[in-house]
Structure 1
């Protein structure tokens, strides 16, 4: 995506026509962009046996999963529901990595019955898994590499104090547990965090796994996780996926020679695949001038896009309806009954009541983190594919909001 450009159409379909057809607020996804992101990773790692496991939590719409499957990727699921969504979307269970954190063992048992690869992220879980399955069910082990990396602290998950994975300092205990329960360990996994820019960070995580792998003679794959950074505004750096591919592939090839045979290299991109493909369209309900700030109140808020309030995330915004208007500074705010800022101090072409604003980089952790807070309804989702806009999720109704509530009579 050229962040200096503000597209009025996707694949030849105007965003205004999509807004008229499906209503606002609305999530719109560019399917070609998702596929091109997958292709860029495949090309960057073309020298190694690569398997892409899309991080489903970023955007889990079944039609998006089908598109990703057709492009040759598998998925990484963090809940049993994501596993089931993947199977519903047509993924073979062997294409699914299941990486839970602190779930009940009954969920692990269900995943095993479904036939997916389970990623074990604690020694107690390793022991319980071993008691139940011994060496009959292959599994992966998630290692915490003690690498502080990524953007916001809430998405940095590989540091020493993170809840995720088993500390690399506990490797002797991991090895002893594998031996005691005769565990069938097929892979080792590491994920240091999101918004990682430097190829050296991926190399450091990979090298932790390469060294640990010497203690596991029957591995089939090494999983280096994901977390590639995307740009959110002009001038933002982004992960050079070609550089990461070159450096990690070379290190992986050297490792395989030392290990004595070729393994598969797994990656788990999420945001990288879908973030730039997503556009969130909202309507300006009111332009409210105060002595210090001009607010644009829109027909959405943190219930639909929580990242700005949760992570202080930056999303570029542009005025689709009045691109040639005179520039003014605005706070774009939502309709939720608390501080609900989507974009602060943004210079935009004059915004008028009824104008359509477009929020960019909305594909990842937009709809997937949406809620019914304030008893608001979640928006529709549209996928543009082959030059046509397809509805892939209906807009919620009030009946959807209350259908699972049980009313008592008093």
Structure 2
């Protein structure tokens, strides 16, 4: 299994399909999936559910389904994409927040598993669907995550039912007769302190022990991948050794085995992705050299939205003299991919490659400034396949109603 994508291959794919362009290496996705499976191989009932909000291209979903993955979804549309990709309904878990009871009922009609994260919906659901077992998303009151926007398990988060509300939750279950089949948590993304994740897991065990007939405990994800050379990355074996020990101890006290579920998104697909952009212009100011490219935060919002770092390489001139550049986009606002970066000399017409572009990049893209969204390509067994066409003006106008004024 060859997962190394060479600079020359990236350049040729860029020439073939044009820029801006997302490229995904399926070999890297498979390596990450197998790595997690091996780390938890001693658990009899273990399931990986890919958090598809990271990247919902049908071809990536189908690839992971073929590897044996289940699916973590957060919208009814993601549920439908999962079904179209071949996932069995019972291998899809729907964990939304702040949606209407009507959307929850749509998930019932589709036959998928459901995690409910607030008492109001739990009560409404129990009144009408007491024979449809559900999971409960717990807020463990743990501050974790690499950025305030992606820390979702703390006391003031909108996500989950507070563990202090367990008595109220039990009363709703008693009043409605609703059956609980699992518990779920997710403390945040890019968790640099694995111990924070493990503290949340302990909270979940303490709650779950009081509920008979559980089928699964779902620990979410948030496992970081390296964006810089010396970045923290998930120590899977430290995590798995500790979590497995606690999980097996829980199962022993519980009296039987339940399924352990993890929901990696970024961990599986981030490092597989490359984003190619063409340099339109080199612009000098009194203090800065800008490299302006044929893309912007409409295609790749993470640096502007999360202040995220993504490594940028000049693949057209990799051996040039290193100089400092601020790489910016063409959107009519502050629009920066990287500030004051040391990059081999950039010339107009060069192709830059932005790394770690597989997760929360295309999936968060937009048509801001009426720009077209880019193409996506997937490398499978060394061959490149177009998996999404570049948009055109027809795509921008497709749903417009032209009223005669």
What TM-score bracket applies, with the shorter chain setting the length? over 0.9
Worse-superposed segment, 192-201 or 17-26: 192-201
1:176-195 to 2 correspondences below 5 Å: 176-195=171-190
Q: Does 1:335 align with 2:330?
A: yes
User: Match for residue 105 of structure 1?
Assistant: 101
Q: Does 1:72 align with 2:54?
A: no
1:139-158 to 2 correspondences below 5 Å: 139-158=134-153
Is residue 22–residue 375 contact of structure 2 (8 Å, CA) maintained in 1?
A: yes
Coordinate RMSD, CA, aligned: 1.2
Is residue 13–residue 389 contact of structure 1 (8 Å, CA) maintained in 2?
A: no
1:282-361 to 2 correspondences below 5 Å: 282-361=277-356
From 75, 78, 85, the equivalent of 2:81 is 85
Aligned equivalents of 1:42, 1:214: Cα separation in 2: 26
Q: Does 1:36 align with 2:36?
A: no
Aligned equivalents of 1:68, 1:179: Cα separation in 2: 39
What is the total number of aligned residue pairs between the two structures? 402
Is residue 188–residue 221 contact of structure 1 (8 Å, CA) maintained in 2?
A: yes
Is residue 12–residue 387 contact of structure 1 (8 Å, CA) maintained in 2?
A: no
Q: Does 1:61 align with 2:57?
A: yes
User: Match for residue 375 of structure 2?
Assistant: 380
Aligned equivalents of 1:379, 1:25: Cα separation in 2: 6
What CA deviation, in whole Å up to 9, does each residue of 1:95-151 have, x standing for no partner? 0000111111111111001000111000111101100111x1110000000000111
Q: Does 1:212 align with 2:207?
A: yes
Aligned equivalents of 1:157, 1:163: Cα separation in 2: 7
Worse-superposed segment, 178-187 or 351-360: 178-187
Q: 1:12 to 1:339 in 2, by over 3 A?
A: closer
State the Cα distance separating 1:202 from its structure 2 match.
2.3
What CA deviation, in whole Å up to 9, does each residue of 1:382-402 have, x standing for no partner? 000111000000000111111
1:102-251 to 2 correspondences below 5 Å: 102-134=98-130, 136-251=131-246
Q: 1:11 to 1:187 in 2, by over 3 A?
A: farther
User: Match for residue 276 of structure 1?
Assistant: 271
Identify unmatched segments of 5+ residues in structure 2.
none
Aligned equivalents of 1:252, 1:216: Cα separation in 2: 15
Aligned equivalents of 1:355, 1:13: Cα separation in 2: 13
Worse-superposed segment, 386-395 or 190-199: 190-199
Q: Does 1:396 align with 2:387?
A: no
State the Cα distance separating 1:198 from its structure 2 match.
2.9
Is residue 55–residue 360 contact of structure 2 (8 Å, CA) maintained in 1?
A: yes
What TM-score does the superposition give when structure 2 sets the normalisation length?
0.98
The structure 1 segments of at least 4 consecutive aligned residues displaced by more than 4 Å after TM superposition are none
Is residue 295–residue 330 contact of structure 1 (8 Å, CA) maintained in 2?
A: yes
User: Match for residue 3 of structure 1?
Assistant: none
State the Cα distance separating 1:94 from its structure 2 match.
0.5
SS at match of 1:276: helix
What CA deviation, in whole Å up to 9, does each residue of 1:274-312 have, x standing for no partner? 110000000000001112000000000000000000000
State the Cα distance separating 1:197 from its structure 2 match.
2.7
Is residue 144–residue 193 contact of structure 2 (8 Å, CA) maintained in 1?
A: no
Is residue 202–residue 244 contact of structure 1 (8 Å, CA) maintained in 2?
A: no
What CA deviation, in whole Å up to 9, does each residue of 1:187-212 have, x standing for no partner? 00011001113332222111111110
Aligned equivalents of 1:13, 1:220: Cα separation in 2: 49
Is residue 288–residue 294 contact of structure 1 (8 Å, CA) maintained in 2?
A: yes
What TM-score does the superposition give when structure 1 sets the normalisation length?
0.97
State the Cα distance separating 1:403 from its structure 2 match.
1.2
Is residue 11–residue 386 contact of structure 1 (8 Å, CA) maintained in 2?
A: no
